[in-house]
């Protein structure tokens, strides 16, 4: 199989580690000399993960699309516009020929909230150039996206310290 064969990877589930897995593959890809596009839905860039991606300079281009304040409510028109703009940037990056790896972090949540349609994501998956790997993360991956992906990992929470009152900690979860 050629080295530049592209695949679609999905990291989903209620357990911790979906974004961390995407950052890991991004670092590996950049370390191999390739360019990476890392787009994050529902996040505003105010996380340590954003700072860590900056360490790779031009090797990893990082952008955020939103703030996610509505996760337990309904998205606003601004949330919808931001997600729409974000998906267009993801699509552009994937089809541009500039990146070996394109990450759409939290896109599964954006799809589940109706900010991006599963059909649009599936179309991108079908038209992905052979030299581009696509990583889709977030809880609630749709059955259609799971079925169309080449690799699916479900992060399964068995035990988490959140349930014992330990909040997200800088450098560990945020």
95 Cβ neighbours under 8 A, 6+ residues apart: 127, 129
Domains by residue range for the chain, with CATH: 8-164 (3.40.50.300)
| Residue 48 reports pLDDT greater than 90 | no
Q: Which helix (H) or strand (E) holds 134?
A: strand 133-137
Question: Is the pLDDT score of 2 beyond 60?
Answer: no
The token pair at 43 is 């996040």
pLDDT classification of 47: cutoffs 50, 70, 90: confident
- For the chain, report the end-to-end CA distance as a whole number of angstroms: 38
pLDDT at residue 156 is higher than 90: yes
Average pLDDT over the chain, rounded to an integer: 91
Q: Quote the pTM value.
A: 0.93
Least confident piece of the model among 54-63, 73-82, 86-95: 73-82
CA distance 93 to 102: 7
């Amino acid at each position: 199989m050629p080295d530049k064969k592209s695949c679609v990877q999905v990291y989903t589930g209620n357990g911790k580690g979906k974004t961390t897995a995407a950052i890991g593959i991004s670092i590996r890809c950049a370390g191999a000399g390739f360019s990476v596009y890392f787009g994050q839905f529902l996040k505003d860039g105010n996380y340590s993960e954003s700072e860590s991606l900056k360490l790779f300079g031009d090797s990893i281009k990082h952008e955020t699309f939103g703030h996610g304040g509505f996760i337990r409510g309904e998205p606003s028109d601004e949330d919808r516009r931001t997600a729409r703009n974000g998906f267009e940037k993801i699509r552009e990056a994937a089809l541009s020929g500039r990146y070996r790896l394109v990450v759409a972090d939290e896109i599964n949540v954006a799809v589940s909230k109706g900010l991006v349609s599963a059909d649009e994501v599936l179309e991108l998956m079908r038209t992905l150039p052979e030299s581009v790997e696509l990583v889709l993360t977030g809880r609630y991956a749709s059955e259609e996206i799971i079925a169309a992906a080449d690799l699916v990992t479900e992060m399964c929470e068995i035990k988490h310290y959140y349930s014992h009152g330990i909040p997200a900690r800088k450098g560990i979860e945020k």
